[in-house]
């Protein structure tokens, strides 16, 4: 069972998300919060697998709460949730350590899929409209020299990391490299482990910083 908490200052939004999620047999909403401070407290108290965290809330907002959670090194995966598709929200959310950034107007089935994916811990989630745009933001930054950790990657893992840097999905990487999608997932997992990265978005950033893209 995937244990989910919801933090949003609007009761109607929380209720809607609860209804969508609890319609699934493998998901249970264990707690709700109306602001960032409550969200941090409920994570400590309930230890949910996934937290849906609104970016804009009164008092302690979602970004500030995300930073507090990251400092505590919590195992809870955080999906930032907002009405606004703004680059600055995406950038700061991912920098703070969020596992994904979703829009509130996404279809319910996409939100459910994102929660499941975040709970698995395999990938980072971004609303499709912002994925590649976020990655392109880092392309303009001067590349950093390749780190010693990159030397631990195999040639195939370097290929996968480079394609992650282009914002490709596992299926797209599989087609590009003529390998199976399951094999891609294995390579992605090894890249994350060897480089000590949280998720695929941070791997994409690392690819840009290392000059692979």
| Full domain range(s) for residue 82 | 2-129
Given this model, what pLDDT does residue 145 score?
46
User: Do residues 15 and 118 both lie within one domain?
Assistant: yes
> Could you tell me which residues come within 8 angstroms of residue 42 by beta carbon, excluding any fewer than 6 positions away?
5, 7, 31, 32, 33, 48
User: Do residues 22 and 68 both lie within one domain?
Assistant: yes
Choose among 135, 133, 114: nearest CA to 123. 114
Residue 110 or 148, more confident = 110
Query: Mind listing the pLDDT tens digit for each residue in 151-190?
Result: 889 999 999 999 988 777 788 899 999 999 899 999 999 9
Quote the CA–CA distance of 206 and 203 in Å, as a whole number. 5
Q: Kindly provide the b/e burial profile for residues 2-36, where b requires at least 16 CB atoms within 10 angstroms of the residue's own CB.
A: bbbbbbbbeeebbebbeebbeeeeebebbbbbbbb
Given this model, what pLDDT does residue 97 score?
75
Given this model, what pLDDT does residue 110 score?
84
Indicate if the pLDDT at residue 3 is higher than 70: yes
- Range of lowest pLDDT (39-43, 44-48, 76-80, 123-127): 123-127
- Tell me which residue has tokens 């609303």: 127
Rounded average pLDDT over 135-152: 60
pTM of the model: 0.65
Quote the CA–CA distance of 53 and 166 in Å, as a whole number. 27
Reported confidence tier of residue 87, pLDDT bands at 50, 70, 90? low
User: Do residues 101 and 146 both lie within one domain?
Assistant: no
User: Do residues 36 and 80 both lie within one domain?
Assistant: yes
Listed ranges 74-78, 84-88, 100-104, 196-200; the one with the highest mean pLDDT? 74-78
Chosen domain end from 64, 98, 129: 129
Chosen domain end from 129, 150, 177: 129
User: How high is the mean pLDDT of the chain?
Assistant: 83
Q: Provide the β-strand partners of residue 5.
A: 31, 51
Rounded average pLDDT over 135-146: 52
Listed ranges 27-41, 109-123, 132-146; the one with the highest mean pLDDT? 27-41
Chosen domain end from 129, 158, 186: 129
Quote the CA–CA distance of 193 and 208 in Å, as a whole number. 18
| The pairing of beta strand 100-103 with beta strand 77-82 | parallel
Indicate if the pLDDT at residue 11 is higher than 50: yes
What CATH number does the domain containing 24 carry? 3.40.50.2300
């Amino acid at each position: 069972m995937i244990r989910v908490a919801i933090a949003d200052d609007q009761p109607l939004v929380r209720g809607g998300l609860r209804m969508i999620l609890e319609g699934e047999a493998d998901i249970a909403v264990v707690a709700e919060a109306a602001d960032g401070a409550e969200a941090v407290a409920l994570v400590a108290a309930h230890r949910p697998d996934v937290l849906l965290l609104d970016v804009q809330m009164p008092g302690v907002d979602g970004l500030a709460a995300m930073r507090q959670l990251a400092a505590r090194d919590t195992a809870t995966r955080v999906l930032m949730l907002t009405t606004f598709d703004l680059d600055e929200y995406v950038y700061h959310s991912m920098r703070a350590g969020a596992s994904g950034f979703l829009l509130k107007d996404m279809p319910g089935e996409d939100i459910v899929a994102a929660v499941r994916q975040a709970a698995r811990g395999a990938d980072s989630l971004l609303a499709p409209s912002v994925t590649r745009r976020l990655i392109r933001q880092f392309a303009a930054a001067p590349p950093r020299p390749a780190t010693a950790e990159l030397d631990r990657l195999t040639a195939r893992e370097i290929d996968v990391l480079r394609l992650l840097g282009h914002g490709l999905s596992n299926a797209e990487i599989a087609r590009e490299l003529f390998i199976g999608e399951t094999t891609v997932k294995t390579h992605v997992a090894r890249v994350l482990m060897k480089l000590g990265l949280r998720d695929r978005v941070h791997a994409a950033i690392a690819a840009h910083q290392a000059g692979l893209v």
